[in-house]
């Protein structure tokens, strides 16, 4: 039932708020608030309250809301999955219509041929990332390219009268534009992450605290537009799917250390070229950082192995210390 899922989300929000208060979390604690009608655009069902037709082209909601029957449009073949594999059904409202999501209890594993390649990624704003091989992927800047159109639609929305039909139409046009930008950003992150994972046996990247980085008022918009966190999430997801090791290393001194001799070379953010006074090594700043990131990841992987269940940890956030023996050493007899 939809009421059960809504009650679960409400209780989880309340529990999260009290946990943050007990832990004395800095900043906002996340006080639970009721969603506005315009922003509350989803409803979730468990295994009851909905029913698929025999041809899997229609879905009927039979709970107290009496929503009725809807025809499903899409390219997914629902006959491929069993009904008992569908654990939850979500109905989402977007600016361009309504969508239904089926949450399935399946394990996705895809096979790939080993390439024997390793790569380190240094994300940035000038370029989306620079890898340890010197390859550069340009930053698409989806929001920056759409800012002119968004400002024009915002001005049209501000000129309309509150409560009028024209205001609803103007709000919908603005919402559609924002939705397009978010979909462009997601599409770029998914395709690029899948390509990187399929082409390498190990992918290393920085464990950036993006939540703290966006507090910089001058770079917040550019950092949010780059969507580093979404790219990392998809890297880790495809790493599990294809069985590729994805390693997050500490970002400290990756740009300052020389990748050739290891000495620390202090430089400001505006300095884009690494010049080592100790060994005379000259390289692009981001390329030097990507090499250091890969080197740190290779040291981390050297400490990893199989866990107790025999499975290998693929997504690693830090160096795993060597396991201690369970039995202590025998004391020598006197």
From 69, 104, 139, the end of a domain falls on: 104
94-103, 117-126, 257-266, 323-332: least confident range: 323-332
pLDDT at 196: 95
Residues 160 and 294 in one domain: yes
Average pLDDT over every residue of 181-205: 95
Residues 194 and 75 in one domain: no
pLDDT at 16 over 50: yes
Residues 265 and 156 in one domain: yes
Higher pLDDT, 51 or 322: 51
**Domain assignment of residue 147, yes or no:** yes
pLDDT at 271: 83
For the ranges 20-29, 85-94, 231-240, the maximum mean pLDDT occurs at 231-240
pLDDT at 306 over 60: no
Query: What is the number of structural domains in the chain?
Result: 2
- Any catalytic annotation for residue 77? no
Q: Quick one: pLDDT band at residue 151, thresholds 50, 70, 90?
A: very high
Residues 42 and 134 in one domain: no
pLDDT at 269: 82
d(CA 145, CA 147) in angstroms, rounded, equals: 6
d(CA 166, CA 162) in angstroms, rounded, equals: 9
Residues 8 and 91 in one domain: yes
Residue in 44, 206, 225, 236 annotated catalytic: 206
Residues 71 and 194 in one domain: no
Residues 130 and 95 in one domain: no
d(CA 203, CA 228) in angstroms, rounded, equals: 15
Higher pLDDT, 327 or 144: 144
Residue in 44, 225, 236, 286 annotated catalytic: 286
From 72, 104, 136, the end of a domain falls on: 104
Residues 92 and 214 in one domain: no
The Cβ-side half-sphere exposure at 275, using a 13 Å CA radius, reads 5
**Domain assignment of residue 232, yes or no:** yes
Residue in 44, 122, 225, 295 annotated catalytic: 122
Listed residue (38, 45, 147, 44) closest to 94, CA to CA = 38
Give residue-wise pLDDT tens across range 34-49: 776 666 678 888 888 8
pLDDT at 186 over 70: yes
DSSP state of 210: H
**Domain assignment of residue 332, yes or no:** no
**Domain assignment of residue 327, yes or no:** no
Cα dihedral 215, 194, 317, 255 sign: negative
pLDDT at 1: 62
Residues 147 and 266 in one domain: yes
Residues 157 and 62 in one domain: no
If one counts every other C-beta atom within 10 angstroms of the C-beta of residue 248, the result is 22
Farthest-apart Cα atoms in the chain, separation? 95
Contact 206, 249 (CB under 8 A): yes
**Domain assignment of residue 12, yes or no:** yes
* Mean per-residue pLDDT over the chain, rounded: 85
Average pLDDT over every residue of 173-185: 96
Percent of the chain with pLDDT strictly greater than 90: 49
**Domain assignment of residue 208, yes or no:** yes
Q: Strand 97-104: give its sheet, edge to edge.
A: 42-45, 86-94, 97-104
pLDDT at 63: 81
Give residue-wise pLDDT tens across range 152-172: 999 999 999 999 999 999 999
d(CA 281, CA 258) in angstroms, rounded, equals: 8
pLDDT at 38: 60
Q: Tokens for 274?
A: 């690494």
**Domain assignment of residue 330, yes or no:** no
Residues 246 and 309 in one domain: yes
Average pLDDT over every residue of 230-240: 95
pLDDT at 201 over 60: yes
d(CA 222, CA 206) in angstroms, rounded, equals: 18
List the domain range (segments joined by +) for residue 79. 2-17+26-104
- Any catalytic annotation for residue 286? yes
**Domain assignment of residue 112, yes or no:** no
The Cβ-side half-sphere exposure at 227, using a 13 Å CA radius, reads 23
pTM: 0.81
- Any catalytic annotation for residue 122? yes
Give the domain CATH number at 311.
3.30.420
pLDDT at 34: 78
Residues 151 and 252 in one domain: yes
Give residue-wise pLDDT tens across range 240-257: 999 999 999 999 988 888
pLDDT at 301: 77
Give residue-wise pLDDT tens across range 121-143: 999 999 999 999 999 999 999 99
């Amino acid at each position: 039932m939809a009421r059960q899922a809504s009650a679960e989300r409400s209780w989880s929000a309340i529990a999260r708020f009290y946990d943050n208060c007990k832990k004395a979390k800095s900043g906002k604690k996340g006080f639970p608030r009721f969603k506005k009608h315009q922003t509350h655009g989803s409803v979730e069902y468990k295994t009851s309250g909905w029913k698929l037709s025999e041809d899997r082209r229609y879905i009927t909601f039979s709970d107290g809301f009496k929503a009725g029957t809807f025809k499903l449009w899409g390219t997914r073949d629902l006959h491929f999955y069993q009904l008992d594999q569908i654990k939850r059904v979500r109905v989402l409202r977007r600016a361009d219509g309504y969508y239904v999501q089926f949450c399935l209890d399946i394990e996705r594993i895809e096979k790939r041929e080993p390439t024997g390649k390793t790569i380190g990624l240094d994300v940035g704003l000038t370029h989306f990332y620079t890898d340890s091989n010197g390859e550069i992927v340009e930053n698409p800047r989806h929001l920056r390219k759409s800012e002119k159109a968004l400002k024009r639609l915002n001005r049209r929305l501000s000129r309309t009268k509150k409560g009028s039909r024209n205001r609803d139409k103007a709000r919908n046009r603005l919402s559609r534009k924002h939705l397009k930008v978010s979909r462009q950003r997601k599409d770029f992150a998914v395709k690029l992450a899948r390509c990187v994972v399929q082409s390498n046996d190990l992918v290393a990247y920085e464990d950036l605290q993006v939540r703290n980085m966006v507090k910089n008022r001058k770079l917040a918009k550019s950092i949010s537009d780059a969507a580093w966190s979404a790219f990392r999430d998809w890297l880790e997801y495809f790493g599990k799917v294809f069985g590729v090791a994805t390693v997050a290393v500490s970002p400290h001194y990756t740009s300052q250390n020389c990748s050739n001799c290891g000495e620390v070379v202090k430089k400001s953010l505006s300095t884009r070229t690494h010049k080592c006074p100790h060994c005379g090594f000259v390289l692009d700043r981001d390329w030097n950082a990507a090499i250091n990131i890969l080197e740190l990841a290779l040291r981390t992987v050297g400490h990893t192995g199989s866990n107790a269940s025999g499975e290998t940890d693929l997504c690693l956030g830090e160096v795993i210390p060597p396991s201690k023996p369970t039995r202590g050493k025998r004391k020598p007899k006197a």
